[in-house]
Every structure is written in structure tokens, then in C-alpha cells.
Structure 1
Amino acid sequence: MYTIPGHHHLSMITKNAKQNNLFFSKILGLRRVKMTVNQDDPSMYHLFYGDKTGSPGTELSFFEMPFAGRTYKGTNAITQIGLLVSSKESLLYWKQRFEKYDVCHGELTTYAHRPALHFEDSEGLRMVLLASNNEKLVHWKAWEESEVPIEHQIQGMGSVEITVRRLDKLANTLTDVFGYTEVSRTEDVAIFQSVSGEVFGEIVVKQLDGPTEKPGRGSIHHLAIRVKDQKELAFWEEKIRSRGFHSSGIIDRFYFQSLYFRESNGILFEIATDGPGFTIDSDVATLGLKLELPPFLESQRDEIEANLKPLEDN
């Protein structure tokens, strides 16, 4: 029986790729591991940030949509990203760093039973740093060239928050289909883990009535969960189809294979393979430095590059 080893990546919407690149690579100190384009619409950037190699479980990805309007927050949406740091001392470091760079943030608090620090980027994307209490995350590789000291670097994704009208519907999908364990529940919040006791596969589900969120800049498009390879991906595709969900079918994204489906509240999930990874067309030393295109788009490179604005000033 296959199991889900944790989160793979999250994909968000940004209105301004240059501004986004500055925040996530400079202020947050993540490595831009892939500069590519949306394979379904090559006119827009698709940027990936993560650890040294963009390991599954560390990847934050952004689609640039220059005409994106504001996000009207509501329910039936992925509403917050948890990012892991090593300790409570790291939270203090980040609070000072946010003050230095005028980043919107809260005070030290707790979230999902862990020390936490909430913050947002300039587009209102809601994030929270979570202290992992010096747990060793085997899938994370430190990036020596980050402006953030290694002991305080962001170590990948932690608790991902999803807000829905029908909590039990999503709960049933997570537990009955994918084998997540429900580890706690109050009247309107439940926490699920794909690996018992581990935060890197944790989903916090909140129940909230009201209007559906209208996505825009700073909204979260989908959550991708990890599988080992295409054999496992085919297993999960059959399982979600047997539950009556519509699947996109397996799609070759070059850096990984994946499929998409929406659960009963309309939350979009992706299931993505660990490999082949971002080094398939680049060595580790040069990851993210130039525009990389999957082979089927290479013949359009000149046109694609002409439509993209540079991310950095020359």
C-alpha cells in the first residue's frame, strides 16, 4: 500500500514577477531553482523557489499574471502556507529581519501547537513561520549562498491551511483516499498528517461558511502532494477516479509527472512525482540563473523570451 510522504509544492499567483523574485530570493533567502514559463500559457513566468536543489517539499512556485486583481478572501480556498525554521530562536531572527525590510508581520505566537510567526508578502500572501524544534528534515538541503545564515534558513513547507464550508468532506478525502491521519479536532478546526508526527505533510482544515474566495494576486492556486514515481501516480489516479472525482489524467511536466483533481469543496490538488527534478536540464551550480524551457517549447524560445521582462536589473 502506497503512502503520501508529504507536500511536494505549492503554486501561487503573483502580479509582478520581479517584485516576487526580490521578496522570495532576497528577503526570504530561498534559492530560485527554476525560471521557466507556464507550460499551458508560455506568455507568463513560472518561478520556483526552494532549497539548494529545489527538493520536493521545499518548493514554492508562482505564476505571473500581470492583470491579476486583488484577492477577495473567503472560504473554499487554500488560505495559508506554513514554512519551517529550526527553532524559536530562528523566529526571533526572522522577526528582526522582517522589521529591517518592512515586511508585514505579527508577534511571536503559536499555530497548530507550534511556536509561530505570521507574515505576508506585499501582495497579501499569508504565510507563517513554524519552529520545528531542531528536527532534521532529511529532504532539505541548505543553500550556502543564501543571504540568510544556514541555521535560520527556511527548511521547506510545514502546515498548509485550507478553509472550507464542509470540513468533513475534505476530511474524508484526506483520510479515506490518501491515508492521512486526523491528529486533532475542535469544533471548526482539524489537523491531518500524511506521516504521523511530522509537520512537513500536515494540513490544517478550518470550517467557515460564507462566500467563496475570489482568487487574485497573493492567492494560492493549488497544493501538490508527493509520490515517488509514475507507478505510484497511476495508483492514486485510479483511486481518486474510483471515488468519483474527475482527474486531469497524468501530465508530463518535464521536471515531474503529475495529475490534478478537485475535491468536493472545489480545492484543487495536484499529485506530483519526486523526479526527475530540476537538475534534468541544469547543473546544481547554475540552477535558476537562466530561462529553462521543456523540450516541446524550445522551438518557441525567441518569441517567449521577447515577451518576458527581465527579473533583475542589469
Structure 2
Amino acid sequence: MSQIAGHHHISMITKTAGENHHFYRDILGLRRVKKTVNQENPKMYHLFYGDLTGSPGTELTFFEIPNAGRTHRGTNAITKIGLFVPTQQALHDWLHRLDEHHISHSGITSYADREAIHFEDPDGLRLVLLNGEKDTLPDFWTAWPDSPIPEESRILGMGPVEITVQNAKSLSATLEKIFGYTLAKHTGEGLLYQSTKGHAFGEILIVEQDGPVEKPGKGSVHHLAIRVKDGEDLRYWAEKIKDYGYDILFMKDRFYFESLYFKEENGILFELATDGPGFTVDASVESLGTKLDLPPFLETKREEIERNLKQID
């Protein structure tokens, strides 16, 4: 039986790729596993960060849009990203690191019924570090040995992703009836759903909020990608989505994975992405993220693409 195996990746907007790279690699200690371009607009960088190989569930990805304005926050948007660390002590270590880099934070508080630290990246993206010591996390998530963060404190991968909507009932029905998510609990923030019952690595926290719809800009989330096994599985889910009444916006082989996109009733954009072939399909583990990688269908345009991109480390 097909099952959504958790988060695959999540994609955001950044204004400055260089600053983004410094923050996520040098301060948060994630590995940049792929430096490539937006396949629909190759004049735009698409950067991927994660564990040693960019395993599914660890990937934070960013489109660089230099003229992006500020986000006008509101409802019908993906509003927060949880990131697991190993222990309570790791949270205390992160308090010192955030202070050291003059990053404002909440101190140790709570989120989704776990100990947590809330903070923002340079673009205003809302992030939450979470104590994951009581959670069973994927054993294939693999530490990047060159991270500036000691292994006992490093960010492991994605936890609950918060989605704020005007109609929580509709989004709940989408998760339950199409994808088989189960309601784990009512938290102080909202409804916590799990793609795999009893496991935290695919959680979605639904917050119901009326009012103006968010106007995206730098630091906003473009879409959440959830994880499917392979191309055959992807086509199975495409039929389920269409049978439910949603349109498939498009399906595409992105070389590193296959994907499809749809929007649910509140306007939240979801992607379904396959586990493979992964980022080592055109690079060794050792060289991941060090050069501009292009899928074969863009390789013939490399000279033009590189000419239109501002060089980054």
C-alpha cells in the first residue's frame, strides 16, 4: 500500500544567495548539497541544504529573487518550519550560538508540545529548533562531518511544518482523505497531523486564522514537498488527487527526483517528490554543492546560464 513517508523538502524565497549560504552553512551548519537553478527560470539560483547527501526530510531549498520585497504576513500560507536537534542540551548549545551571532530568539519555550527555540533567518523566515530526543527519526539521515556544529548539537532534519489557513477543515480533509495523514493531537497552536502514525518527521501543524491572505516576498515559503517512493507511486497519487477533485498543475522529471504539484482549497501549494535518484546522480558525495550543477536538459545552455548568474561561493 502506498504511503506518504514524510517530508521531502521545503522551498523558500531568499533575496541574496550569498547571505543565505553563509547563514545556513556557516551558522546553522547545514551542508549545501546542490547549487543549481530554477528549472522554470534558469536566471535564478536554486540552492539546496541538508545532511551529508541531502536526504529526503532534511532539505531546505531556496530560490534567489534579488528584487523580492518583504513578506506581508497573513493566512493561507506555510508559516513556520520545525528543525529537530538531538537533545535538550543541544537546545542550550544553540542558545549560546544564536547569541554569539547576534540572532534574536525566544529562549527555550515550547512548540507542538516540545521544547523549542523560535528565531528567524536574515530574510525573516520563521524557524523553530525542537528537542527531538523523544522522537524516532529516520536512521538514514546522515551527519555532514565538516559541519561547524558538533555532532551532538547539529540540526538533524525537518520536524513539524506549520500551515496557517482560513479553512482548517478543508486542509484536514485533504491530508486525511487523499494522503492518509492521521490527527495526532490538538496542541496549543492547532491540529498536529502525522503522515506516519507515531512518527514526527512528517508532521504538519494546521493553524486556523482568518484575515488577510499573506503576500509573499523574501522569507516566505513557496511550497512543501511530501515524499513518495518512485515514479509509479507518484502516478498513483496523481490519480488520487484528481479523483478528489483537485487539478494537477504539472508533473515533471527534475532529474534529481520526479515531482507533481497541486494546490488545495486554501491555495497552499504542495509538491509530491520521489526519493530518487537523488543529488549524487551527477556528483560525488565529496563534491556535492561545490559547483553549478545543471540537469541534462539545461546543460547545453550552461554558458548562457552562468553568464546570467552572479557568482557565489
Give the TM bin, normalised by the shorter chain.
over 0.9
Q: Is the 8 A contact 2:137 2:201 kept in 1?
A: no
Q: Is the 8 A contact 2:45 2:309 kept in 1?
A: yes
How many angstroms apart in 2 are the aligned matches of 1:249 and 1:79?
24
SS in 2 for 1:89: helix
How many angstroms apart in 1 are the aligned matches of 2:295 and 2:219?
26
Deviations 1:205-231 (A, max 9, x none): 000000000000000000000001011
Aligned twin of 1:88: 88
How many angstroms apart in 2 are the aligned matches of 1:296 and 1:84?
36
TM-score (norm 1): 0.97
The reply on whether 1:257 has 2:258 as its aligned counterpart is yes
Q: Is the 8 A contact 1:167 1:206 kept in 2?
A: yes
Once the 2 structures are TM-superposed, how far is the Cα of residue 303 of structure 1 from its aligned partner?
Answer: 1.1
The reply on whether 1:103 has 2:103 as its aligned counterpart is yes
Aligned length: 312
How many angstroms apart in 2 are the aligned matches of 1:88 and 1:188?
21
Once the 2 structures are TM-superposed, how far is the Cα of residue 105 of structure 1 from its aligned partner?
Answer: 1.2
Structure 1: runs of 5+ lacking an equivalent: none
Aligned twin of 1:280: 281
The reply on whether 1:148 has 2:159 as its aligned counterpart is no
TM-score (norm 2): 0.98
SS in 2 for 1:201: coil
How many angstroms apart in 2 are the aligned matches of 1:186 and 1:58?
24
How many angstroms apart in 2 are the aligned matches of 1:178 and 1:136?
20
Aligned twin of 1:222: 223
Once the 2 structures are TM-superposed, how far is the Cα of residue 186 of structure 1 from its aligned partner?
Answer: 6.2
How many angstroms apart in 2 are the aligned matches of 1:193 and 1:130?
16
Structure 1 stretches of 4+ moved >6 Å: none
The percent identity for this pair of structures is: 57
1:110-259 to 2 correspondence within 5 Å? Answer: 110-133=110-133, 135-185=136-186, 189-259=190-260
Letter in 2 for 1:282: A
How many angstroms apart in 2 are the aligned matches of 1:42 and 1:296?
11
SS in 2 for 1:118: strand
Aligned twin of 1:297: 298
Aligned twin of 2:25: 25
Q: CA RMSD in A?
A: 1.1
Once the 2 structures are TM-superposed, how far is the Cα of residue 248 of structure 1 from its aligned partner?
Answer: 2.5
Structure 2: runs of 5+ lacking an equivalent: none
Q: Residue 172 and residue 299 in structure 1: after superposition, are their counterparts in 2 closer, same or farther (change >3 A)?
A: same
How many angstroms apart in 2 are the aligned matches of 1:191 and 1:204?
4
Letter in 2 for 1:238: E
How many angstroms apart in 2 are the aligned matches of 1:9 and 1:259?
13
Aligned twin of 1:270: 271
How many angstroms apart in 1 are the aligned matches of 2:137 and 2:57?
14
Letter in 2 for 1:32: R
Deviations 1:284-310 (A, max 9, x none): 000000000001111111111111112
